[in-house]
Chain A
Amino acid sequence: MADEARKLANGATRIDFQTDPSRWKHWKLSFDGDVATLAMDVDENGGLFEGYQLKLNSYDLGVDIELADALQRLRFEHPEVKVVLMRSAKPRVFCAGANIRMLAGSEHAHKVNFCKFTNETRNGIEDSSEFSGIKTICVANGSTAGGGYELALAADHIMLVDDGSSSVSLPEVPLLAVLPGTGGLTRVVDKRKVRRDHADVFCTIEEGIKGKRAVDWRLVDEIVPMTRLEETVAARAAEFASRSTRGGATPGVTLKPLDRTFRVDGIDYSLVTVDIDGRVATITLEGPSEAPPVTVADLAAQSSDAWVLRIARELDDAILDLRNNAFEIGTFVFKSKGDGGRVAAWDDFLEANKGDWLVNEIRQYWKRVLKRVDVTSRTLVALVEPGSCFTGLLGELVLAADRSYMLIGSFEGDNRPAPAMALTAANFGPYPMSHGLTRLENRFLATPESVEALKGKIGAAIEAEEAEKLGLVTFALDDIDWADEVRVYLEERTSYSPDALTGLEANLRFAGPETMESKIFARLTAWQNWIFQRPNAVGEEGALRRYGTGLRPTYDMRRV
């Protein structure tokens, strides 16, 4: 049971990451000047899959997809918002965390990708606090347990009602024999800097910690009596709003539904095409067909049709769709087509106008999309062929790949010129990886001076042999070797154990330092995924399987 695919509710055939406020079942978004209230009101019977009820504001991936959509709309459609109040619309409970019956009945791959997505969404909340000035205040009006507290942890400020029973808790270890898998452990010690022994106590107390001790131990920022809650929330919202760098009277940009068609063997978007062949998905990105706008007002007028925003949304959706609906596809091959010069022009436009709110939101979004690519547990390959436009921003995908191949010269009978890459300012700062380095810095950990030297190449067309020499691609191949080398590589790659590859890639992709964000994926998620496989959690007598039956789990008591 635990490793069979669940049936999607209402006859759905795939998990869809696109939604809009008219379709939300679980969240309510309201506005009062520069303060937005995002209220969680989970529809018990609105689960993504059949077979469980989402009681007490517990969530599944469907609830989180709506949350991600709400946050994205706050960023783009509501530039006036400086503070988001994360609240519950249910009395005496903020959020009970991820739904246990959903977890217990989900196949392993779904659990892992569910956690990955929820982590990305919470990281995004923090990212928008730091780089967009959207401050989040969590109002914990009751039980705030497990994933519920992890959601609270993503906020800038946590308020807990002081009524003698409302508490924050991470009961996963004692109750379920798993970890708080959405950044809980890392954020408790890294972000909130809870002392490690206090954190140990906290993570093993099923009912959690309330009142003064929750403040003393830094688990929440303040406790508030119920009768003074609303005035305190209003005061805090005003305080955070006054400190926010965001805002202005600028109208937002409406995120229109994506132009998207599913085929048996792929997905067609307006600028992104996914072609599936066996266990390989080729993702082709199309460069801009026109020059970038001249002014930021022109950009705003293009709205969500602007090339740079549209392609980000389409690539984001394609990655999420493949990640969650096509587990057997082990390799993503990135290709591009178009005019590299126009990509460079867009990069220059974005760089020149980075102080504009919309440009900023677009750049932050691209940063998150590229990070999503980085943590995707599929082999990433980039093929730089004639007609491609892996320049600047799009060139980041080549740098993100586990391996990249570039053609020397042209294919026989193809009169297009030899492919060239080009660097722009986009490769030197605005789109760092989750561990804080740019993809170039990550690539040249041994020779930081190479990164400096590459700055001198900005704008220059770099053909294959030079690209290989500079270290921008793995191999430069000529026409004679190309087809065979690429074929053999892909065949070999797809023959390896997918688990070993996931581990290999995750270890090699992030060299050097760590940040809280990278730790969440590299350490916490890895441990969680191991625990999710172990009989102590998911075996017949394991804690997840026995949850709700009243039977105690039986553990294999040997330490590993």
Chain B
Amino acid sequence: MADTINVDYSTKVPNNVDLANDRQVLRALESWQPNYVEWWKDMGPEGFQNALVYLRTAVSVDPQGWAKFDYVKMPDYRWGVLLAPKEEGRKVNFGKHLGEPAWQDVPGEYRAMLRRLIVIQGDTEPASVEQQRHLGATAPSLYDMRNLFQVNVEEGRHLWAMVYLLHKFFGRDGREEADELLRRRSGSKETPRMLGAFNEETPDWLSFFMFTFFTDRDGKMQLESLAQSGFDPLSRSCRFMLTEEAHHMFVGETGVGRTIERTCQAMKAAGITDPNDISKIRELGVIDLPLIQKKLHMHYPLTLDLFGAEISTNSANYYNAGLKGRFGETKIEDDHQLTDATYPVMKFIDGKIVEEHVPALTALNMRLRDDYSADCAKGVERWNKIIQKEGIDFRLELPHQAFNRQIGEFAPMQATPKGIILSDADWAAKKDDYLPSRDDLAFLNTLMKQELEPGRYAGWINPPKVGIDNKPGDFEYVKIAA
């Protein structure tokens, strides 16, 4: 009897970890799966659980053909457990255990640390699905709606990836943590998600695009550094997750890009050259560039906060233990132990912003954040190219690291986006110049209207250059009536 269940179940869960022969993990996943589906129905995309969505599903880890596209109802999505192929002879590439063979099992002394890392990463995955669950109702096109759902189901799969690790390697505690991942809810007063940014609402599509650009990029950085892990199953999980994460950032970057392009073109058509002529631009039913800058001001600092305190004992411990490396660790040329290295960190001391050199081992959050900021800056430049090409005189910019922070050195103070220190009174007076005001958000809400006609787009955003899976412009990415 058990065999029938096994076979049935393992056909339901695509995997390359031989689940059929791993009875212990199979049993655990079996009892977790119905709770997961229940969570998805409760907290997943609202109102579209029965729609047929043209989604890609990961079916293999072969880089040539890892995904296939087809219509599927989201609750029936084949969430699988997929790890990147094993590299024979892989070593621990940094920290105290540098050069030792990578661990295939959890080293006892790092069990607590590893579990915490996996739980924190795992907690972010379902959080974004929860944050975005109302957005289907205001999707600017079926194409965008499909992208939203694709992002959502893949975040769901990333949760599966972390849950697999918890079930496989952490016994009863792992199973309990896996249950807790479904119990915590974004924005809940009772059981909030672990990290601040994942308890914020995603109220509109511009925020969704900003989130996928900025916050999913944090996800990428975290996954990149966990992909370096000396704990091989974690490394392999994260490497495969990165394949999917790339699409999420694509959704964000092109989403903002298409919005910018639409605004610039509408301005030109109406003969408006001043990007700050906000009321006239808003009359055109497009989002003015200063408002896009304000949204950027909101999302970027919130994401910087996700990297944690600039000086961090935990990240030093993770690195030294060989559990979480630096971005591109193996490509960096140094001792990979940071014995004597220092790293510059900006601090807020005696009312001034000053640079200090601190032991590099304790500044790993800062270093990863710097790598992140550089990555963000490239994307922002690509947006600026669009503005430039359309001939509008405006530049989008990342705010200074001291601007609007809740965590770390700059949490106790206020500064302008340029990094000029402000008194609390000045901040209160100028806040609405930097961040979306109530009026700004009210305006944005008037634009957020659902567009369900295949091939049609809301007036504030341009169609994409190319369809998903090379489908034509009028392809019906979501069949609502199904």
Contacts and interface: CB of A to CB of B under 8 A. Distances in A.
Interface of A: 162-165, 174, 205-207, 225-227, 547-552
18 contacts: A163-B191, A164-B184, A164-B192, A165-B192, A206-B113, A207-B116, A225-B190, A226-B189, A227-B190, A548-B316, A548-B362, A549-B313, A549-B359, A549-B362, A550-B316, A550-B319, A550-B361, A552-B320
A163 B194 CA distance: 10
A299 B192 CA distance: 54
Contacts of B315: 550
B317 interface: yes
B112 interface: yes
B313 A164 contact: no
A207 B118 CA distance: 14
Given A165-B184, A226-B189, A550-B362, 13 more contacts: A163-B184, A164-B180, A165-B192, A206-B113, A548-B316, A549-B316, A549-B359, A549-B361, A549-B362, A550-B313, A550-B320, A551-B320, A551-B361
B112 A174 contact: yes
A162 B317 CA distance: 28
B260 interface: no
A552 B321 CA distance: 8
B183 interface: yes
B96 interface: yes
Nearest to A163: B191
B349 to A, nearest CB: 12
Contacts of A226: 189-191
Contacts of A550: 313, 315-317, 319-320, 359, 361-362
B112 A548 contact: no
Contacts of A163: 184, 190-192
Please indicate which of the listed interface residues A164, A227, A548, A551 has the most CB atoms of chain B within 10 Å of its own CB: A164
Given A227-B190, A549-B362, A550-B313, A164 B320 contact: no
Interface residues of B, number: 23
A164 B195 CA distance: 13
Contacts of B362: 548-550
Contacts of B321: 552
Contact of A205 (B112, B190, B192): B112
Nearest to B312: A550
B127 to A, nearest CB: 12
A207 B112 contact: yes
A427 to B, nearest CB: 53
Interface string B299-321: 00000000000000101110111
A162 B191 CA distance: 7
A449 to B, nearest CB: 57
B313 A547 contact: yes
Nearest to A44: B412
B316 to A, nearest CB: 2
Given A549-B316, A552-B96, A164 B183 contact: yes
Given A205-B112, A552-B96, A165 B320 contact: no
A165 B194 contact: yes
Contacts of A552: 96, 317, 320-321
Interface string B182-207: 01100001111010000000000000
A146 B14 CA distance: 44
A470 B176 CA distance: 65
Interface in B358-390: 359, 361-362
A204 B190 CA distance: 28
A164 B317 contact: no
B97 to A, nearest CB: 10
B319 to A, nearest CB: 6
B294 to A, nearest CB: 27
A174 B192 CA distance: 28
A227 B190 CA distance: 6
Contacts of B319: 550
Q: Which 10 residue pairs spanning A and B have beta carbons closest together? A: A550-B316, A550-B361, A164-B191, A164-B184, A206-B112, A225-B190, A548-B313, A550-B320, A226-B190, A163-B191
A205 B177 CA distance: 14
Nearest to B362: A550
A163 B180 CA distance: 10
B263 to A, nearest CB: 39
Contacts of B180: 164
A541 to B, nearest CB: 12
A496 to B, nearest CB: 42
Contacts of A551: 96, 316, 320, 361
A227 B189 contact: yes
B98 to A, nearest CB: 13
Nearest to B360: A550
Contacts of B192: 163-165
Contacts of B320: 550-552
B391 to A, nearest CB: 49
A206 B112 CA distance: 7
Interface in B82-103: 96
A146 to B, nearest CB: 15
A550 to B, nearest CB: 2
B176 to A, nearest CB: 8
Contacts of A206: 112-113
Interface in B191-237: 191-192, 194
